[in-house]
Amino acid sequence: MQLIFLGTSAGRPTRSRNVTSIALSLPEPHCGFWLFDAGEGTQHRMLGSKLKLNKLERIFVTHLHGDHIYGLPGLLSSRSYFEGAGPLTIYGPPGIRSYLEQTFELTGVHLGYELHIVEIAEGEVAADERYLVEAAALEHRLPCFGYRITERPQSGQLNLKRLAELGVPAGPLFGKLKRGEDVTLECGTTISAADVVGQPHPGRVVTILGDTRPCENAVKLACSADLLVHEATFAGGLEEKAAAYGHSTFTQAAEIAKAANAKRLVVTHFSSRYDDEEVAELANGAKAIFERIEPAVEMAEINVPRLPLTNS
């Protein structure tokens, strides 16, 4: 799993930072990616990355402020020009359907693929055999959500040497054993999956929050996350100003990560008043609260490595 920050600026773009968008690249066998928010210019940023719109599978919108959604209509329209662009699902707060459908109607857009729009509430948002996505409401000036992406545990590796010793033929029986099912050979011998399958790989958890004041749901969504992405619009000491606009400071983001026992914190959504050097200094100053804090860098790729095997 890998995050790519396509935009890290709050409110409006700057010369060095675009407005909010984060891509989550998925490992094999998916090899696709999901997008979290799409501020104006997101598709332009993608042109300078390895991301291709025909590999985009899902878009999760945190809220309907323009710096998080104004890039959606153009991006969705351009996706029609990519060969192999399959169905796409957009998840977002109530109003996202009306925004997109009216935009398409007024501008005469006809998409060349199937688009599904899901207006979400708190709880489970999406699920498949590999991932679970949950949402909870945050505290902002508009209805806003944060997302918790949980990778399901992956089964361990087959012990091919032991399988050969036991006389298990390659084929469907391998699949059953890998799924944890015991099998019986033609000779009547029963093979226990626990004897020939290694330890499972625990899944990873990535939490991506929208704009928010510090709140209880931010801590819940980020609980023990391998990576937390939290906004840090203002410098520590400007908590009153941050609260008035529904935002957080670098200090508050670090406090949320600490309270949630997150393993790593990447802050983003920086006010245009701060240049890149000042952003780095502010993040460094928050390390007294949470050591593993780092500022998102425009177009930077953040790897979320697979956890080591659990002991049994």
Is residue 230 annotated as involved in ligand binding? Answer: no
- Quick check: is 312 in a domain? no
Structure tokens at 5: 């920050």
285 and 250 Cβ atoms separated by less than 8 Å = yes
Shared domain check, 256 and 137: yes
- Quick check: is 311 in a domain? no
Shared domain check, 166 and 115: no
Nearest alpha-carbon partner for 231 in 14, 19, 56: 19
Helix orientation angle between 250-260 and 276-285, rounded to the nearest 10 degrees:
40
Bridge partners (DSSP) of residue 136 are: 146
Residue 252 confidence (pLDDT)? 98
Shared domain check, 166 and 96: no
182 and 192 Cβ atoms separated by less than 8 Å = yes
Shared domain check, 191 and 258: no
- List phi, psi (to 5°) of 114: -85, 125
Is residue 247 annotated as involved in ligand binding? Answer: no
Shared domain check, 179 and 286: no
Distance from the Cα of residue 277 to its chain's centroid:
26
- Quick check: is 276 in a domain? yes
Distance (Å, whole) CA 124 – CA 134: 4
- Quick check: is 309 in a domain? no
Range of the domain at 248: 2-154+202-303
- Quick check: is 310 in a domain? no
Q: How many CA atoms lie within 13 A of 38 on its CB side?
A: 25
Is residue 30 annotated as involved in ligand binding? Answer: no
Q: Whole-prediction pTM value? A: 0.88
List, by residue number, the catalytic residues.
Answer: 67
Shared domain check, 222 and 256: yes
Helices (H), 49-95: 66-69, 72-79
Domain count, the chain: 2
Shared domain check, 253 and 175: no
Residue 129 confidence (pLDDT)? 86
pLDDT in tens, the chain (312 residues): 999 999 999 999 999 999 999 999 998 777 799 999 999 999 999 999 999 999 999 999 999 999 999 999 999 999 999 998 999 999 999 999 999 999 999 999 999 999 999 999 999 999 998 999 999 999 999 999 999 999 988 777 777 888 888 888 888 888 787 777 888 887 888 888 777 777 777 889 999 999 999 999 999 999 999 999 999 999 999 999 999 999 999 999 999 999 999 999 999 999 999 999 999 999 999 999 999 999 999 999 999 987 765 444
Number of Cβ within a 10 Å radius of residue 305: 10
Shared domain check, 171 and 62: no
Residue 308 confidence (pLDDT)? 63
Residue 28 confidence (pLDDT)? 75
Pick left, alpha or beta for residue 285 (phi over 0 → left; psi -120 to 50 → alpha; otherwise beta): alpha
Shared domain check, 209 and 192: no
Shared domain check, 168 and 138: no
Residue 312 confidence (pLDDT)? 41
Shared domain check, 81 and 26: yes
Residue 197 confidence (pLDDT)? 78
Shared domain check, 213 and 191: no
Report helix, strand or coil for 202.
coil
Distance from the Cα of residue 312 to its chain's centroid:
30
Distance (Å, whole) CA 3 – CA 50: 12
266 and 290 Cβ atoms separated by less than 8 Å = no
Is residue 211 annotated as involved in ligand binding? Answer: yes
Residue 195 confidence (pLDDT)? 79
222 and 19 Cβ atoms separated by less than 8 Å = no
